[in-house]
Structure 1
Amino acid sequence: MKFSKYYVAAFFSFVIWGFFSLALKPLKSYPSLDILFYRVFLCAVIMAVISFFVRRKVLGDNIIKYRAMPVAQKSRVVLQTLGGGLLLTANWFFFIYVMNHISVKAASFAYLVCPIMTTVIAYFVLDEKLSKWQWSAVLISVVSCALLSFANIADISYSLIVAASYAFYLVSQRRNSGLDKFLLLTIQILFSAMILLPFYPEYSAALPIELSFYAFIFLIAVLFTIVPLFMNLYALQGVTSSTMGILLYINPLMNFSIAIIYFHEPINTVQIIAYSLIFASIIIFNERFICRKRTAAI
């Protein structure tokens, strides 16, 4: 395939994210806020060094672009970027809390429904159209949520909060264009660090002394944050957004599998049916893309 190297980059970025629970679960004895604090602070330092020193030419070009923008566009870029940083911070905190204090399956479910939830929000906010097949997929996912809610309403509520925070982030960033994406992400993470910094002295626990804590935080910051983001940015040069959307489901499906196989989390018949419906809704939602790829192959 002409874009195979981009496809491989996209595929492995989501595979890497699929193993995130293996680095996060060993930290479950630490408060969720502490994990968030150190992850964001370390990411902010690393990404700032990359953007402001390693990619200085890109920074200079984007400063020129920003200064040349009309006042209204400048304001929109600032609001969308900083608002995205706020949503990203919320999503990270909710995800860490659900992963370590609710269940890996609940965190996995959040990112199963997130792409569909994103499209529904985009339908109302951005006036993006949905086909009859896609509306059918949305209804199927609603049924699966209802099934899971019968088992544990708290779990599904937490899952939907995680999904909604990231869905709103994605929708808010769709129109945030004109500047380098990695630079915008750096600004968002720096803004996230600024939001969290005043809360650190009051709400952080005692400074961790275990070297394993810092080893896992470094692993999370580099391997499960910066590296996949770099791979995503590279992949987007040669892979369509629809292909990225299909590959996005690798992450939650791997999380769910790891929850059952590695962490031995219990699963019942209702959950199997509900997750099967989610999988079916994914296929139906992407029916046009899948059929088009099959036709092209023939």
Structure 2
Amino acid sequence: MANGLTQGVAAMVAACSIWGLSPMYYKLLSHIPAIDLLSHRMIWSLVFFGLVLGLQGRLREVAHSFSGPSAFGRVALASLMIASNWTLFIWSVQTGHTTQSSLGYYIYPLVAVVIGRLVFGERLHKIQWACVGLAAIAVCVLTFGLGTAPWIAVVLALTFGFYGLFKKQLNVGPVVSVTAEVLLLAPFAVVILLQSYHKGVPVFGEDVQTLTLLVLAGPITAVPLILFSFAARRLAMTTLGLLQYINPTLQFACAVFVFSEPFGAWHLIAFVLIWCALGLYSLTALRQDKLRRKADRAASLSGTTL
């Protein structure tokens, strides 16, 4: 059991580290238009996922993800959300807005809480509402201080939040569902690259290094998802949630310390508010998880006694 826990934590840390350090990869491809880079990401991800699922004998599961009432529509909506999220993320890194992208992924857990309340009627405690309020104040602070709304962060948080909503309604695992999503998007990706090619754009880059980096978009997308799937089967949701903050933290570090993006007093105030909100949210989640485990143990002992 302990070994499985250790493996799960290691897998989750590795997945979040790849996600968090990915801005450095996309920065190397700043000379490739974001929409073309997204297209490569879709195509090479599909190739990589296809190979993985083929070796596992699970390709038929992709077809099953489209079966059932409204399944195709949900996969299509999930595809739209993740394509929008990935495009904006790539563009934000390429144009020097990685700080905002990290803020978006910090805000995402609180957006997910609000979606859960509005869509599924999940109850929120006062502290959770306070966390959401702090996040809203942080956005207002940045809007007032910088004179413009941090729309990149907000859109990234919303698109990823709704992506999670549509994924929740699919009865397949994360690797299979993402394969189905990129399968739907691949034809559009091919059309985009063909259009760029006819305009004289070297869609595979002008050198071997660029081509290699473009092909690596497949494993860079697929490997952390596979690691996440591995970790999700071995860790409690609370642990997964806490470890997930590694991703935006590394993005933030890349933005400030590697890319030297501006980070002034208004940014600091907003990020401190977000960090406080996430700290309260995490403490509440840990407390709820502890109480739930205690109740489960009590119920188990009661059942054994009877």
Normalising TM by the smaller chain, what interval? 0.7 to 0.9
Q: Distance in 2 between matches of 1:122 and 1:25?
A: 34
Q: 1:70 maps to which residue?
A: none
SS in 2 for 1:74: coil
Q: Secondary structure at the match of 1:202?
A: helix
**Paired position in structure 1 for 2:83:** 89
Pairs within 5 Å for 1:119-268: 119-152=113-146, 154=148, 156-177=150-171, 179-203=172-196, 205-207=201-203, 208-222=205-219, 224-268=220-264
DSSP-derived class of the 2:70 partner = helix
Matches of 2:148 and 2:42 in 1, distance apart? 27
- Cα distance in 2, alignment partners of residues 155 and 193 from structure 1: 33
> 8 Å contact 1:98–1:159 — kept in the other structure?
no
1:32 and 2:26 correspond: no
Contact 2:47 2:218 in 1 (8 A): no
User: In the alignment, residue 160 of structure 2 is paired with which amino acid?
Assistant: Y
Uncovered stretches (5+) of structure 1, i.e. residues with no partner = 68-72
Q: Under a length normalisation based on structure 2, what TM-score does the superposition of the two structures give? A: 0.86
Contact 1:87 1:166 in 2 (8 A): yes
Conservation of the 8 A alpha-carbon contact between 2:65 and 2:176: no
Change (3 A) 1:37 1:61: closer
Residue from 264, 267, 271 that aligns with 1:271 = 267
CA contact (8 A) 1:133 1:287 kept: no
- Give the 3-state SS of the residue equivalent to 1:226 in structure 2: helix
In 1: Cα distance, 2:55 partner to 2:290 partner: 42
Distance 2:287 2:123 in 1: 19
Displacement after TM superposition at 1:203 (Å): 4.5
SS, match of residue 75 in structure 1: coil
CA contact (8 A) 2:19 2:224 kept: yes
Task: In structure 2, list runs of 5 or more residues that go unmatched.
Answer: 294-306
With over 3 angstroms needed to count, the CA separation of the structure-2 counterparts of 1:250 and 1:259, relative to structure 1, is same
Question: How big is the alpha-carbon RMSD for the aligned residues of Structure 1 and Structure 2?
Answer: 2.3
CA separation in 1, counterparts of 2:146 and 2:208?
37
Equivalent AA in structure 2 for residue 19 of structure 1: L
1:274-293 correspondence runs (5 A): 274-291=270-287
The Cα shift of 1:219 comes to: 3.1
The alpha-carbon distance between structure 1 residues 215 and 131, as it changes in their structure 2 partners (threshold 3 A), is same
Looking at structure 2, the residues matched to 122 and 292 of structure 1 have their Cα atoms a distance apart, in angstroms, of 17
Indicate whether 1:10 and 2:12 are aligned.
yes
Whichever residue aligns with residue 8 of structure 1, its letter is A
CA displacement at 1:152 relative to structure 2: 3.5
Counterpart check, 1:44 vs 2:46: yes
Distance 1:167 1:144 in 2: 18
Q: Which has the larger radius of gyration?
A: 2
Distance in 2, matches of 1:255 and 1:138, equals 22
User: For the Cα contact (< 8 Å) 1:106–1:155, is it kept in 2?
Assistant: no
Q: Secondary structure at the match of 2:9?
A: helix
CA contact (8 A) 2:78 2:181 kept: yes
Mapping of residues 57-72 of structure 1, within 5 Å: 58-60=58-60
Alpha-carbon shift at residue 106 of structure 1 (Å): 1.1
Identity of matched residues, %: 21
